Structure formats: C-alpha cells, structure tokens
Amino acid sequence: MILMLITRKSLINILKEKNCVEDVQAIYALSAVGVDWAYKMTDSWFKDGEIGYYLMQKDFGNFAQCKDVKMEIVNNKTDLEPKFCRFSMQLGNNPALLSLGLCLPSSCTTPKNNELLRTPYNISDIFSSKIECEFERPFWKSKAAIAAFVVSCIFFLLVLIGTFLDLIGAEETAAKFFICFSFKTNANNVLNTQHSKNSIQCLHGIRAITIMWVVLGHTYSDTPGYISNILQKMTTINNLAFQAISAATVSVDTFFVLSGFLTTLLFLINIQKLRPKVFILYYLHRVIRLTPVFAIVLMIEICFVKFIPYGPYSVERDDFVKTCESSWWKHLLFIHNFFSAKVLEVKK
C-alpha cells in the first residue's frame, strides 16, 4: 500500500480558479460558524478521517445531500448552485485507484473545462489526478439525441400499426409488412415453447443455463469496483463462491459455440442445394438479422445513456459513452476484431 494522506484542505489548495477557491473557503467559513446550508454542503464531501492512509479507496460523500443544498449569498454572489464533483487519482491508463466526492459551488465548474486542478497532484510522476464535475445536459440541445428520439418514435409507430393490423386480421400485401413489427406476433414467437421434431432439444437447456450465468455475472461482476475501500475487493474475489462470477466472462462463449454449431449444421444439411448465389444470400441473411438490432443498441448507448445517469457514478458512465462514440462504426461493420484492443479504451 502506498502511504498517502489526502485531505479536504489539500484539494482546495490545488483548485485552479481563484474565484472558485475563494468561494469554497467562504463556504467553509460559514459552515464553521453554524450556517445550516453551508454545513450541509461541506458535510456532503468525503470524510477526512475515513480516507486516512488508504490510497485505493472510494468515498463519494453524500450526492443527494449536495444536490439538495439551497445556497445563499457567498462573496456577494446570489446565483451559485451546488455541483457534485469527483476527484480521482489513477496509475497510468488504469481505472482510478482513488475517487473522492466533492460538493463545489457552480463558480468552480463549466461544461467545457471539467479539469479543475491548478497543478497535477502527481506522485513520483506515475500517478495522475483530476477533478471532474457533473453538469446539466439538456436533452433537446443534442442533435444526435433528437435524431435517435425520432427514429425510436418511428419504430414505436410501426409497432402500433403492425399490432393493430394483426389484431383485425388484415391480409393485404402492405399489411404483411407492418405485421412484421406486430407486438402480438413477435411476442408469440418469442414466448412459444413448442419446437419442431427436427430441433435439438438439449440446446434449449444449454441456452437457459448460459443466460442465467450471464445475468448472474453482469449483476455482480462490477460490484467489487464500487466497494468503498477497494482493498476489501481482494477478499471478495478470492472467495470460492465468487469464482462463478469471476469466470462469467467466458459464459458468452457458449453462445458462440451454439451459433457456430447451428450455422454449420444448416450448411451441411443444405450443402447439395448451395450455389454461389445462395452463398452470398446466406451471409447477407446473417447480416440483415444482426445489424438492425445491433445498430439500435449502439444508438441507445451513444444517444440516450449519457442523459440517464444521475448520481456519483455518472462520470464513469460518460467514459463508456465516449468509447462508443469513437468506435461505433467499427462495431457496426463487424470489423472491430481486426483492430487493436486499444481502440476500445477511453482516452483520458
């Protein structure tokens, strides 16, 4: 463990903006004399006593308390609002080893400049540090979000039309196109438990077990990363029962095997009928099946997800969105496996 003592005072001293430092110091002075709103604001910071000599630790303070503060006059300013910020320290490009929550006045934060440190808080030129603050992101000011919302509305309208035509039993050629989007028809297909006599029934059991494993892994795999003192994570991940979660990353390999097996089986069954033209249609069919759903998932991640998070971990969610924004086309063309894994890393 690296010996490091980080206090509130030490962080205030390295804030970049002079007005920001003066406002924070004024808030602490008001807190010291018992001003209620100022005390609530300073109390929502990380606790000095809990940080102590731990480097690998997370203490986000009290996010809700910070956001609920109604600030009054500070240095003759009446328009200040509380902003939740996060101080983080990391080793190289690795995830943050230390994350601390701060409640700063809006004079300290701007959307275009989230790095608020006057000088890097470096240790032996190995560790780097920064402060990032959450800020308002109006949904209707994002062109990408508006475009994605319009596309979503079109899909929703197609579902409504298709479901209505399906319920009234329309059989016209045009109606059949819309019925492809029918909620009734698609729900019946998804929930139907009947199978053909030529199906391999054991594969259904393998799918069921695997999907439960995937859900289990996704539910608990990130939990150790949110433990306040990350050193406790070592005890958790070494537990025998946790190995099912630690090894859950390979659970999706089962679906790769099943997909390859079924594709090969269908190919061998129809090999006598296959001609060059059929080969092209064979691959085209796979692309048409996968691409629309995959594109919708990417659209949701890039255009909507950044407006959803609200809490101390919203900054971390932004990192995932930035990754998709920079490499979405590689995934949509199914060529991401031909690129270095670094293309998936978020630029710090």
Q: Is residue 35 domain-resident?
A: yes
Strand partners, 276: none
Q: Please, what is the end-to-end C-alpha distance for the chain in angstroms?
A: 24
Helix (H, G, I), strand (E, B) or coil at 326: helix
- Report the residue count for the chain: 348
Range of the domain at 36: 8-136
Q: Is residue 305 domain-resident?
A: yes
Question: DSSP letters of 53-66?
Answer: T-SSEEE---HHHH
Give residue 157's pLDDT.
96
CB 75 within 8 A of CB 23: yes
Angstrom distance (rounded) from CA 282 to CA 3: 61
Report residue 86: phi and psi, to 5°: -130, 120
H or E element at residue 100: strand 96-105
Give residue 195's pLDDT.
75
Own/partner contacts of 324-332, CB < 8 Å, gap of 24 or more, are 324/298, 328/298, 328/302, 331/294, 331/298, 332/291, 332/294, 332/295, 332/298
The last residue of a domain, from among 136, 158, 175: 136
Q: Is residue 324 domain-resident?
A: yes
Based on the structure, what is the number of domains in the chain? 2
Q: Is residue 130 domain-resident?
A: yes
The last residue of a domain, from among 95, 117, 136: 136
Angstrom distance (rounded) from CA 60 to CA 103: 10
Strand partners, 131: 87
Q: Is residue 65 domain-resident?
A: yes
Residues of the chain above pLDDT 90, percent: 18
H or E element at residue 94: none
The last residue of a domain, from among 83, 117, 136: 136
Say what the pTM is: 0.71
Task: Read off the pLDDT of residues 211-252 as tens digits, 9 standing for 90 and up.
Answer: 999 998 888 776 666 666 666 677 777 888 888 888 888 888
CB 133 within 8 A of CB 85: yes
280 or 127: which carries more pLDDT confidence? 280
Q: Is residue 141 domain-resident?
A: no
Q: Is residue 226 domain-resident?
A: no
Confidence class of residue 311 from pLDDT cuts 50, 70 and 90? confident
Q: Is residue 249 domain-resident?
A: no
